[in-house]
Structure 1
Amino acid sequence: MTQQSIEQRIADLGLVLPEASDPQGSYTNCVKTGNLLYVSGKGPVAGLSEVPKGKLGREYSVEEGYEFARITGLDILAAVKLELGSLEKVTRVVKLQGFVNATEAFEQHPKVLDGCSDLMANVFGEKGVHARSVFGATSVRGNLPIIIDSIFEVEV
């Protein structure tokens, strides 16, 4: 029995990778050092006709935040594919770090970041299960609802 490719798994999940979003400052999307690929912070912007702006707990619900995190995960995967040429070169999702633009009273940050975490596990299986941290932020670039940066182990 042959193992299903990552690209096929993405298609089977009904997902489409957007064109990777461009950096929004003086930095690059990805830096590879040794067998680690660091992906700069991404938000829910790639492939959307309208970029969401606002805070979780005010403009957006936990469920909407989960979807924004999933969309952000697709942009992360698009950046990884652009950098490596293929998602097959990913050997492990190491870490996700989320910054949730939220009201002071908002407490569901982990449930929001689950949108990206679940995506990585669905796409990569066991090697998509990762370490992570999530923080509430009073402000993020562009007033996006979430920013996620990530680290991947890749083939050398």
Structure 2
Amino acid sequence: MGNHGAVVRRVFTRRGDDVVAKLSVEDKALLVQIPDLLATVGVIPDDAAISVLYRNAYRDDPDASAEFQELVGSQLATDRDADLDVLMELTRATQTISVDEAKSVLRAINAARLTLAARANAFDTGSGWETRISQDPALAAVAWLGGLQSDLIDALSG
């Protein structure tokens, strides 16, 4: 993904069974926008984010995909809401979170990154989207979220 807009400072570090977050005011200001962003998925006509966040479980079998969505769709929405709650708590006060909470934050960041990337057609241009970062704020946000995500993965892995 390159280093365009990537996190160059350590935001997340592992401390035993916990992850410590050192979010700046700017980090928090951007992260608090994620729930509103994800609330728009499916509301915008022909939203490219739908196909990225809600992939068909069975591409060759629409009936099986519909049944799968019926069985797990509401649980996925509940889980996403819980992930967003953890993210919002992290932006308000909590600086130390459990590994499970860190995984929730990771999922919320990933959903936002995928949503922005899909809407900016980053998947259609392959790696060429990186050359447009300086001209497109949405792609700059994709790169920043990717750096933050990478930093959190490193903390969880270490």
TM-score normalised by L of structure 2? 0.29
Relative contact order higher in (CA < 8 Å, ≥ 6 apart):
2
Considering fraction of residues, name the structure with more helix.
2
TM-score normalised by L of structure 1? 0.29
Larger radius of gyration: 2
